[in-house]
Amino acid sequence: MPVVFLTITNNSGGGQPVSLANIRAASELCHRYGVPLFLDACRFAENAWFIHEREEGQSGREIADIVREIASLADGMTMSAKKDPFGNIGGWLALNDDNVAESCRNLLIMTEGFPTYGGLAGRDLEALAQGLKEAVHPDYLRYRIRSTAYLGDALDGAGIPVVKPIGGHAVYIDARALLSHVPPLHYPGQSLAIALYRAGGIRSCEIGSVMFGRQPDGTEVPAAMELVRLAIPRRTYTQSHIDYVIEVVTSVAKKASSLPGYRITYEPPSLRHFTARFAPLE
């Protein structure tokens, strides 16, 4: 059955939010043609905060109220609870269709556990319940978004090309601009990610032609963007940690013209960006 998925915020496009007007319009269009609208809502609280801060007519609303309206416009949602709700593990599937929900509950019992815990420990369920409350608190969200912007503003000030405005959960470096000598199908994003790890143990993620370049027929095409994502875990790093990241990224950027392209030496049939192996090009 066809379904439309809307990701809030956009993890592969710079961590940018989806406006409430956009969600309303998508919901209206989907329901006009009888197509379910689902939310990939891992970062629902950050998205609601951006709506509160940027969208006309939304600044006087509670964050939780914006979240409720977003949810009311969809037919279902998926959630990796390791994102906004502060979970160490777990997630959920929410559905408006009772018949589909019953089928999913039965499958859950056979594969993970009873619907009241879904294979999770009680401690994890309690953490998620508390995390959902804390995730929509304005003071927390203000601190969270500003902490990410601190990293992004510092890199931007150092002349390193980043996606702007800075997103909520991550800063995205434009590897295509920084490594302009590396063709897209030689994977400039992967080259930069490897260099950051080798220089300072900075773990990042390529979002470019490794992730999106392979087509269903096996051919390779350049992705629309060649990005490197610096995602920031919640309530984990101190400012000194982020200052260290700034130092490492700035140091690597000064040597960007000497970084090599890469070739893939192994890739699985699907989702290759998780487990592919690479070798530098001479």
Quick one: tokens of 238? 């101190």
From the number of C-beta atoms within 10 Å of its C-beta (0-12, 13-18, 19+), residue 157 rates as exposed
Residues forming CATH 3.90.1150.10 domain(s) in the chain: 138-280
CATH architecture of the domain 138-280 equals Alpha-Beta Complex (3.90)
Instruction: Compute the distance between CA of residue 246 and CA of residue 219 in angstroms, rounded to an integer.
Output: 37
Contacts of residue 173, defined as CB under 8 A and 6 or more positions apart, other chains included, come to 155, 160, 161, 162, 192, 227, 228, 230, 249
**Mind listing the pLDDT tens digit for each residue in 101-138?**
999 999 999 998 888 888 889 999 999 999 999 999 99
From the number of C-beta atoms within 10 Å of its C-beta (0-12, 13-18, 19+), residue 3 rates as exposed
CA dihedral 131→133→135→137, nearest 10 degrees, is: -150
Q: Could you tell me where the DSSP H helices lie in 112-137?
A: 122-135
Phi-psi region of 233 (alpha: psi -120 to 50; beta: other; left: phi over 0): beta
State which residues of the chain have pLDDT below 70: none
CATH architecture of the domain 4-135 equals 3-Layer(aba) Sandwich (3.40)
The pLDDT of residue 113: 87
Residues forming CATH 3.40.640.10 domain(s) in the chain: 4-135
The pLDDT of residue 275: 95
**Mind listing the pLDDT tens digit for each residue in 25-44?**
999 999 999 999 999 998 99
Instruction: Compute the distance between CA of residue 140 and CA of residue 128 in angstroms, rounded to an integer.
Output: 16
The pLDDT of residue 227: 96
